[in-house]
Structure 1
Amino acid sequence: MRVMVLVKATEDSERGYHPSPETDAMMAAMGRFNDALRDAGILVMADGLTPSCRGKRVTFDGADRNVIDGPFAQPRELLAGFWIWEVKDMDEALAWVKRCPNPMPGPSEIEIRPFHELE
């Protein structure tokens, strides 16, 4: 089963990455976690996203399109990064997320969403 593992943004991630001993240690821990995912054969893809101030949204209403420049409100509703994993089941994905180092300096949240799969 393929799942997308979504790292929710925080106010810290929306400020952008700034090197410091704390963020360097956090990135090193995340690199080791990604290595473990790769070694286990479940990592399909992973990447971080820039803050929403560098993004755009396009709204649709019939034939109309409207472009909205970032930044966007409510950091907890935004994404800071993602993985795509190939796992046996949701229990395996959950077990791996529980092993993940905290992806943010403070409180954070990770969401796991399965892809639609053809029967």
Structure 2
Amino acid sequence: MAKYMLIWRATDESQAAFKDVDFTDIMNAMGKFTDQMIRAGVLLAAEGLADPAEGVVVDYTGETPVVTDGPYGETKELFNGFYIVDVASIQEAVEWAKRAPYMQGSKAEIRRVPTIDEFPQDNEWIRKERAWRERTGQL
């Protein structure tokens, strides 16, 4: 088994499509989808994100970091939320993403989440993180 993050990305088309959809309908559809993953035993985490106007970007391209308030110029830079699933393969993660409701015009990026075991175990910071994960029940 491996962890994969399903990252929901907004597009101009999806933003327009959702504009007239009742929020309760969206929550009910996503709730049913989430429940399917819970019942299948693959869901590890799921979070939606607040409106981009409430966020900021810290840009490190210059000599010093520059903070810019939202909203942002292009929706292709945004993601709306994520699921982390524990499945056998990226193909299985793709199959779950394909089941998501209300995705017209949206995109899902799927990325594997490496385990701590994949990093150099003799590194001081990896040892500290492993100890923290053990203390908090994450290993």
TM-score, normalised relative to structure 2: 0.70
Number of aligned positions between the proteins: 115
Higher relative contact order (CA 8 A, sep 6+): 1
Structure 1 gap ranges (5+): none
Kindly indicate whether residue 47 of structure 2 is the aligned counterpart of residue 47 of structure 1: yes
Shift of 1:82: 0.6
Shift of 1:77: 2.2
Please give the residue correspondences for 1:1-119 in structure 2 after superposition, counting only pairs within 5 Å: 1-11=2-12, 22-60=22-60, 64-103=64-103, 106-117=104-115, 118=118
Hey, which of these two has a bigger chunk of strand by percent? 1
* Contact 2:13 2:105 (C-alpha < 8 Å) held by counterparts: no
Aligned-pair Cα RMSD in Å? 2.6
Shift of 1:73: 1.5
Three-state SS of the structure 1 residue aligned to 2:65 is strand
TM-score, normalised relative to structure 1: 0.81
Residue 124 of structure 2: aligned partner? none
Distance 1:63 1:107 in 2: 37
Structure 2 gap ranges (5+): 120-139
**Equivalent pairs: percent with the same residue?**
34
Three-state SS of the structure 1 residue aligned to 2:114 is coil
Shift of 1:60: 2.4
Three-state SS of the structure 2 residue aligned to 1:64 is coil
Shift of 1:97: 1.1
6-15 or 49-58, which deviates more: 6-15
Shift of 1:62: 7.3
* Contact 1:57 1:69 (C-alpha < 8 Å) held by counterparts: yes
Residue 137 of structure 2: aligned partner? none
